[in-house]
Structure 1
Amino acid sequence: MVIIGHWIDQNWRLQKLVLNYVHIPPPCRGLEIADVIWRCLKDWGIESKIQTISVDNASSNDDSIENLKIYIRSTKKLLCDGRLFHVRCCAHILNLIAQDGISEIKDVLVIRDSVKYIRRSDARLKIFSEIVKQLNLYERKLIDDCRTRWNSTYEMLAAASKFKDVFPRYAECDLHYESYPTEADWVKIEIICSLLEVFWIATHIISGSEYLTSNLFLNEVSRVKVLLDKKIIGQ
């Protein structure tokens, strides 16, 4: 576990510092996590200066925050009696929503298989690149994705969509390449990318570490809500 501190210095500039890296053997229960964080705060002498703690939405983190409240209340009064102490990671919430959505569109991700098939061989990639040049396309390259990271799936789909005219021409050069994306697949991918792009932009904005994000996340979440409401109404 990595523990990071954020604070405003005397010049009103946002500062950030890694306070500690800690190995917590499994199972990572809430009490053990709270004890590790508390010891870290004590080591730095800042146990009476903590205003909020941001964590993702694991149930063990809920338990750890409740235990930390008890520890910290022994040294100071919590702001708003602790109602603002536990800050849930908005980027993690968006990640869960996007992952849940992608799990419902597995049938469209034939593009993933196509990208992997071509990138797996230098010879195939060379043929693909030659077709790209023949079509005067200037996009950089195909990229793989990580199945557990929805944002990389979005980046893979967005990159592949730039080459949608290349895949059928590549199929003419490779008799073993049989299952390439159809025009209907690309229409679906365009819709999917338009949805995921909003999540992608919002996640990047509210995951920033060089600027304040508490004043930005509500606007980004509102954009996501408006988008989802439009899609629901459209259906």
Structure 2
Amino acid sequence: MSVTAHYIDDSWVLQHRILRFVYVPAPRTMDVLAKKMIESLTQWNIETKMSTITIDNCSSNDGMIRLVQKKLSNELLLQGKLVHMRCCAHILNLIVKDNLSIIEGSIETIRDNVSFWYASPSRVEKFEDVARQLKISCTKKLALDYKT
């Protein structure tokens, strides 16, 4: 787990700092996550200055937020109402994955074709030769994408 602080400095400039990388042993239950989060906050003496936690969407993280809020409720800003922000990047990733599954077969066919043409230098040469014959600009190379 990484703990990053975002804050506005005295000059009203948004700052961010990585405070800690924490090894969280399995099983990563909400109790274990909450304990590690509270340890991280108290190590930096910021448990009373925190107003928001942004995490990805999983049930153990939801439970962790509730436990942290309960444990620190008397010390938190905003009358103990910890604002739980869901990670937009994680949500966007879930949406994209869900929609890409619709065209998964087509994507796999394209990957197979790219793999075929770049399996050997002679195939690359043949591909480029055919592109020239068809008067297709071939200035960029084919590249396999990464599923992530």
TM-score, normalization: structure 1?
0.56
Cα distance, 1:121–1:66 mapped onto 2, change above 3 Å: farther
State the match for 2:46 in structure 1: 46
**Structure 2 residue ranges without an equivalent (≥5):** none
Letter in 1 for 2:9: D
Cα distance, 1:3–1:126 mapped onto 2, change above 3 Å: farther
Asked if 1 retains the 8 angstrom alpha-carbon contact of 2:56 and 2:86, the reply is: yes
**Post-superposition CA distance 1:3-58 (Å, at most 9, x none):** 11111111111111111111112221111111111111111111111110101101
Query: 3-state SS of the aligned residue for 1:105?
Result: helix
Cα distance, 1:62–1:138 mapped onto 2, change above 3 Å: same
State the match for 2:102 in structure 1: 104
Cα distance, 1:137–1:21 mapped onto 2, change above 3 Å: same
Q: Which has the higher strand share?
A: 2
State the match for 1:113 in structure 2: 112
Alignment of 1:181-200 (within 5 A): none
Cα distance, 1:47–1:115 mapped onto 2, change above 3 Å: same
Cα distance, 1:39–1:105 mapped onto 2, change above 3 Å: same
Percent identity between the two aligned chains: 37
Cα deviation for residue 69 of structure 1 reads 0.6
TM-score, normalization: structure 2?
0.85
Q: Which has the higher helix share?
A: 1
Paired residues in the alignment total 146
Cα deviation for residue 125 of structure 1 reads 2.9
Cα deviation for residue 138 of structure 1 reads 5.7
Q: Whole-Å Cα distance in 1 between the matches of residues 8 and 145 of structure 2?
A: 37
Cα distance, 1:40–1:107 mapped onto 2, change above 3 Å: same
